[in-house]
Amino acid sequence: MAKGKGPKGKKITLKMAKNSIRISFDGGRRLDLSKMGITTFPKCILKLADVDELDLSRNMLKKIPNSIEKFQKLRWLDLHSNQLEELPKTVGTLQNLFYLNICNNKLTTKNLPEELNLLKNLRILNLGLNCLDSIPPTLGALKELKELGLFDNFLTTIPNSVKRLPKLQKLNAERNPFPKSKKEEHIYPVKRIESLYLVQEKDLCSSCLKTCQEERDKLNKFKNTVPCPSKKLSFPLLLTPNSTAMDNQEQWRLKDEDL
């Protein structure tokens, strides 16, 4: 008797794939093969490599082939909630990619390709719910990155090169085993004042005193507008898919039209 090889999975034909192409809100062509019970990457879709968006999320894929490089027009790639243990190095050739979701897989740091740092136009990267114990400092090369999901991994630190990305607006690193003394630093990276000089008001000239008072007013105004740190933060594009997934995949898509 032959040994079991696991679920065979649904076979995707070229006709089925063509019928799964949709026009996205910005006029792009999106190939949506999510929730199809796919266990192996369907080779037939290589004939549709001119699509702008590819959704293979919520399947049972264990591997993405090197031939993913044929999708050179791809701007949006969703692979979340599969069983991926590695990514091909050729993913780094997808220079038009601005959205990459590989959340909720089985990726380890060792199998995270260094070539990810070649995705110079990437704006959103979701690595949450994987098996990462460290983040390659080379991801600091992603100068356009605005949102980064690192939640539910095994991280104990985040490289400064990543925390200091010039356009990074959202960093979700919740539920990682950070040391308690460092936890807040990793979740809320801030710039610190290196030097502080104190003088009394009577020792300041009128011009300097006025400047200090204006800066103090700005600081007070800022304190009144910044939300309390204890307030639960919202990461609309960096959510845990298994707990909040929507049937309508459009609700998972990036809605920032200026990207």
C-alpha–C-alpha distance, residues 182 and 89, integer Å: 32
- Among the residue ranges 46-60, 102-116, 184-198, the one predicted with the least confidence is 184-198
Q: Residue 252: what are its φ and ψ, rounded to 5°?
A: -95, -10
C-alpha–C-alpha distance, residues 106 and 59, integer Å: 13
C-alpha–C-alpha distance, residues 235 and 172, integer Å: 7
Element (H, E) at 59: none
Residue 109 — very low, low, confident or very high, per pLDDT cuts 50/70/90? Answer: very high
CB atoms within 10 A of CB 237: 19
Provide CB contacts within 8 A for 179, sequence distance 6+: 156
Element (H, E) at 118: none
pLDDT at residue 228, rounded to an integer = 43
C-alpha–C-alpha distance, residues 225 and 227, integer Å: 6
Q: Does domain 15-172 have CATH number 3.40.50.1970?
A: no
User: 212 pLDDT exceeds 80?
Assistant: no
Whether the full predicted model's pTM is greater than 0.85, yes or no, is no
Please report where in the chains the tokens 């090169």 appear, as a residue.
161
Residue 28 — very low, low, confident or very high, per pLDDT cuts 50/70/90? Answer: very high
C-alpha–C-alpha distance, residues 244 and 248, integer Å: 12
